[in-house]
Amino acid sequence: MLIAVKPFRTLIFAFALAALGCHAQTPTPTTSDTSGKLSPEAVRRVEVLIRSRASIPAGYVIQVGSRTRSEVPGFDRISVSFLADGKSSKPTDFLISTDGNTLAQFSKFDISKDPKLLVSGDGRPARGGPANAPVLIVGFDDLECPYCAKMHEQLFPALTERYKNQIHIVYRDFPLDQHPWAMRAAIDTNCVGAQSPVGYWNLVDYIHAHAGDLGGTEKSLAKANENLDTLARDEGKKQNLNADALNACLAKQDDTAIKASIKLGESLGVDSTPALFINGEKVEGAQPLEDVYRMIDSALIASGQTPPPPPTPIQAQPQTPPATKPGN
């Protein structure tokens, strides 16, 4: 993108058509054939519209290319570039109607791929239904994040109860820099998860429920790290894991997989936690449970499945008046 004086703003007309001019009772100006070079008057009308709509500085030269056939019926394509200080921007495509009276710009997106394939749950400990369940829920989680803990406590028990085998839930790691022991927690839970998915989820459940206590009364990072390692070893004993392999993993503190997970999240636009992907549809932050239900129901219907009936509202029980003694 060419930058001079101030950045050129991206032109997005979002399918809205902008008239190049209205010439009542006069013939349409000649714009040449349906392909080829625009007339000087048509070029000027394009330039004036773009300069005014996008606040292009006077120091920019707007260069309008020849019209070529487009995929949109009734419109041809023209390329517009911007020149300043001897440097040219990357050309931007516009559509111009065949009568030369309307200019449009829009973006074309590929929706041929199943959004569910946007982020995979492969290789991760899972809850809920099988890997081929119709709905895949991938959560990017920070084990030191209080909002993640709240979502973990409230949302996932409700989802697994309501949808049972219709949903497959996995977590991917996204420890934030401002949380000092979140990276170690991610590594330690993965060390356990490498041998036991059940142990992984037990450890995740405990850490989210007791995050505020891990650093001790002094809120020490060293204490939190020590407690995390102890919790991982204790869970390893419960699950009869290979102690040597687990201790080696805890001692190594290899963050390669965690950094790869962070990079994946960033490529998907994740910059905070919690973040969920429901068959590829992104949900950021804490959301009302009813909205999450609606998104999962929509994904189920798109997969040819029938969502469960809506939860029955809890009816308030009538209050029995307090008993009174005779004569009162």
Q: What is the pLDDT of residues 113-126, one digit of tens each?
A: 888 888 999 999 99
Q: What secondary structure does DSSP assign to 127-193, as a single string?
A: EES-TT-SEEEEEEE-TT-HHHHHHHHHHHHHHHHHHGGGEEEEEEE---TT-TTHHHHHHHHHHHH
Question: Are residues 239 and 99 part of one domain?
Answer: no
- Rounded to the nearest integer, the mean pLDDT of the chain is 85
Query: How far is residue 254's CA from residue 46's CA, in Å, rounded to a whole number?
Result: 57
Assess if residue 88 is contained within a domain: yes
299/294 Cα distance (integer angstroms): 9
Identify the band that residue 315 occupies on the pLDDT scale cut at 50, 70 and 90.
Answer: low
pLDDT band at 310 (very low <50, low <70, confident <90, very high): confident
Number of independent structural domains in the chain:
2
Distance CA 30, CA 141 (A): 60
Whether residue 323 lies inside any domain: the answer is no
Mean local confidence (pLDDT), 206-227:
94
Q: What is the torsion angle, in degrees rounded to the nearest 10, for the CA atoms of residue 160, residue 163, residue 167 and residue 172?
A: -30
CATH of the domain at 63: 3.10.450
In a domain, 15, yes or no: no
Q: For residue 5, is it within any domain? A: no
Helix axes 289-302, 146-163, angle to 10 degrees: 50
- Count CB atoms within 10 A of the CB of residue 9: 11
Residue-range definition of the domain harbouring residue 54 = 40-105
- Residue 38 CA from chain centroid, whole number: 42
pLDDT at 191 over 90: yes
Rounded average pLDDT over 244-270: 97
Sign of CA dihedral 150, 153, 155, 156: positive
More confident residue, 4 or 55: 55
User: Does residue 317 fall inside a structural domain?
Assistant: no
Cα-Cα-Cα-Cα torsion 149, 152, 158, 163, nearest 10 degrees, comes to 170
Residues 183 and 68 in one domain: no
Q: What percent of the chain has pLDDT over 70?
A: 84
**94 and 202 both lie in a single domain:** no
Query: Same structural domain for residues 133 and 101?
Result: no
Residue 197 located in a structural domain:
yes
Shared domain for 148 and 213, answered yes or no, is yes
Domain match, 47 and 192 both: no
Question: Which pLDDT value is given to residue 320?
Answer: 53
Residue 93 lies in a domain: yes
Clarify whether residues 194 and 274 are in a common domain: yes
187 shares its domain with 73: no
Nearest one of 129, 119, 135, 127 to 298, comparing CA atoms: 135
Pick from 84-88, 165-169, 284-288: least confident? 284-288
For residues 90 and 141, membership in a common domain is answered with: no
- Same domain for 219 and 100? no
Structure tokens at 50: 């773009």
| 68 plus 163 within the same structural domain | no
- pLDDT bracket for residue 2 (50, 70, 90): very low
In a domain, 75, yes or no: yes
| pLDDT tier, 222 (very low <50, low <70, confident <90, very high otherwise) | very high
The enclosing domain of 241 has a CATH number of 3.40.30.10
Q: Which residues pair with 69 in a beta bridge?
A: 76
Domain match, 178 and 236 both: yes
